[in-house]
Structure 1
Amino acid sequence: MSDTYCTDCKRNTEVVFDHAAGDTVCSECGLVLESRSIDESSEWRTFADESGDHDPNRVGGPVNPFLADAALSTVISRSANGSNADSSLARLQNRGGDPDRAIVLAFKTISSMADRLSLVTTIKDRASELYKRLEDQKCTRGRNLEALVAGCIYIACRQEGKPRTVKEICSMVAGGATKKEIGRAKEFIVKQLKVEMGESMEMGTIHAGDYLRRFCSNLGMSNEEVKAVQETVQKSGDYDIRRSPISIAAAIIFMITQLSDSKKPLRDISIATTVAEGTIKNSYRDLYPHAAKIIPEWYAKERDVKNLSIPKA
């Protein structure tokens, strides 16, 4: 599932892809936003019927604008008696390496991480483009592949307006790249590509509201609570709260849930937002003096807001 603007709901909503019909359907109202989509993934077929091998083989490769024919290769099958149909050709095949093997592996890693993070295709393609530019500059050799890929995905998310925290991306790195390594890789990528790409390399400013929908969804909050959180975050921008946008978002979610019937434990909010419990408490204390002004009146009465407790250190 991913977020797309629905012309019926008049807002960004989650959509579901019906691969059988080729339709993109709004999960809120059921409107078909796009029909007859083309599936550009690889198809499965088998040509080994005579040998009794029923495992399918991929025919061709998925459409990739960053690869010409690098992903295409010919695999020599075995004959019915178990020997190679042509051993000399097989030896030549084994001897010939794929010059683009590293970049194909990087693209596969980007695709795998993007799928685990539920990222849309535009972000995946943007990350692949960034890595291809690094590869063209021949500056990837000797560097941590997973960290570079994670850095490309982080930058692509920022540029496409769907930011992810470094902790979220770090948790999806199969190779175990640390948060510090991803941070260094991100700075390296920006430095290397800034001269070539100019203003298009800018990542923009992160706002607390950029994370709200995903965080609230992870916590299973109601529509009323989500609306209250969004309005509170918007009003908090009028005050000088010197905390990171992610910390402010987490603290406001905690504040709003304490005013609802389904109070969320601080630990659950910490896990859902990837913000440490101590950081949420400190941000909460900075927001608390302004609570009566930033929390919408329709959601909580002034008396209820005054009864909010400050979490212990």
Structure 2
Amino acid sequence: MTDTTIRTYSGETQREQEPRASEDEQCPECGGRLVSDSEHAETVCSECGLVVEEDEIDRGPEWRAFDSAEKDKKSRVGAPTTKMMHDQGLSTNIGWQDKDAYGRSLSSRQRQKMQRLRTWNERFRTRDSKERNLKQALGEIDRMASALGLPENVRETASVIYRRALDEDLLPGRSIEGVATSALYAAARQAGTPRSLDEIAAVSRVDRMELTRTYRYIVRQLNLEIKPADPESYVPRFISDLDLSDETERRARDLLESARKEGVHSGKSPVGLAAASVYAAALLTNEKVTQNDVSEVASISEVTIRNRYKELLEASDTMTV
């Protein structure tokens, strides 16, 4: 017998390896089936344990999948599709750098050729008015979401809402920017990371009146289920922007919970209640923060904070008694 390594396998290991065996390959010693052992990078006989090949290259993926859905999710064949691009990211982009694969600058003739290719590529990517509309709107959504610090899932949801509005022909008579802003505002509230109307209007190209009017129309026509904003959802962001402690955040949540049980929150602005609770909690924990600081972070007036924080403290005293 040749000087070849022989490895012994348990019956369980053999059964795991058998599905990867080649039917036309046989062991040179006993004629048994050959199986591939990916753990040791070897091809082994399932009968006698003879190692026929070793130090093989594993050409499979580095991840494991236990069902078809997980396999499709983990498989990487190009960039994933996304609703944040008008063509779902399936088209090709030509880079703006006039350099070749080695980083060398292109000649003037090659630069002219690449510029023409970019022009025609853009024309083919947006072949009709609907795609041009969608491209502009999704660009606006991405710009505003970046300015507001909203996560990617909110941008995806806003893109889906805008696509629905476009498909159901809700845009005639309304601006692209107005519908895009309304979609982003609705998506942020659905995801539990709301932004106030003033914050949204500050980064939008439309005024607050048009935004509120378009938002109500989009929600009504698309039957969007959007719950009233919870004041507690604003508290972590305000605490972070003011660099306050975890104890202050906990006290602010307790104040809002007391206000909810006493019915103080009814008919009040969620942003105003959240800002007032943060200010009141800072006073209770002896942290240095002024009404002006909270007002700038929350984009509301100091008068609102003064009125609301007194109501919150009274509700908290009532619960304590």
Q: Can you list the C-alpha shifts for 1:37-94, whole angstroms capped at 9, x where unaligned?
A: 99x9xxxxxxxxxxxxxxxxxxx98732474478736769998454855999999779
Question: Residue 80 and residue 232 in structure 1: after superposition, are their counterparts in 2 closer, same or farther (change >3 A)?
Answer: same
% identity of equivalent residues: 25
Distance 1:90 1:257 in 2: 55
Distance 1:222 1:169 in 2: 27
What is the aligned-residue RMSD (CA, Å)? 3.4
Question: Residue 94 and residue 185 in structure 1: after superposition, are their counterparts in 2 closer, same or farther (change >3 A)?
Answer: closer
- Report the Cα offset of residue 291 of structure 1: 3.7
Q: Scaled by the length of structure 1, what TM-score is found?
A: 0.63
CA contact (8 A) 1:236 1:294 kept: no
Is 1:215 paired with 2:250?
Answer: no
User: Hey, which of these two has a bigger chunk of strand by percent?
Assistant: 1
Distance 2:315 2:238 in 1: 22
CA contact (8 A) 1:219 1:268 kept: yes
**Greater C-alpha Rg:** 2
Code of the residue aligned with 2:305 in structure 1: it is: I
CA contact (8 A) 1:71 1:104 kept: no
Distance 2:123 2:236 in 1: 51
Partner residue in 2 for 1:126: 157
Pick the aligned partner of 2:258 from 222, 232, 235.
235
Is 1:158 paired with 2:183?
Answer: no
Question: Residue 112 and residue 69 in structure 1: after superposition, are their counterparts in 2 closer, same or farther (change >3 A)?
Answer: closer
Partner residue in 1 for 2:222: 193
- Report the Cα offset of residue 203 of structure 1: 0.3
Alignment of 1:37-116 (within 5 A): 63-65=81-83, 67-68=86-87, 72=91, 80-82=107-109, 84-85=112-113, 98-99=127-128, 100-116=131-147
Partner residue in 2 for 1:244: 269
Distance 2:227 2:295 in 1: 25
Distance 2:315 2:115 in 1: 77
Stretches of structure 2 that go unaligned for 5 or more consecutive residues are 1-72, 99-105
Distance 1:87 1:270 in 2: 49
Partner residue in 2 for 1:137: 168
Distance 2:221 2:195 in 1: 22
Q: Equivalent residue of 1:143, what SS?
A: coil
Is 1:181 paired with 2:210?
Answer: yes
Q: Equivalent residue of 2:256, what SS?
A: helix
Q: Scaled by the length of structure 2, what TM-score is found?
A: 0.62
Q: Equivalent residue of 2:234, what SS?
A: helix
Distance 1:218 1:74 in 2: 38
Stretches of structure 1 that go unaligned for 5 or more consecutive residues are 1-36, 41-59, 195-200, 296-301, 303-313
Code of the residue aligned with 2:251 in structure 1: it is: A
Distance 2:116 2:274 in 1: 63
Moved more, 208-217 or 84-93: 84-93
Is 1:278 paired with 2:307?
Answer: no
Question: Residue 193 and residue 81 in structure 1: after superposition, are their counterparts in 2 closer, same or farther (change >3 A)?
Answer: same
Aligned length: 232
Moved more, 164-173 or 74-83: 74-83
Code of the residue aligned with 1:191 in structure 2: it is: R
Moved more, 78-87 or 160-169: 78-87
Distance 1:94 1:61 in 2: 19
Q: Equivalent residue of 2:155, what SS?
A: helix
Partner residue in 2 for 1:117: 148
Question: Residue 102 and residue 221 in structure 1: after superposition, are their counterparts in 2 closer, same or farther (change >3 A)?
Answer: same
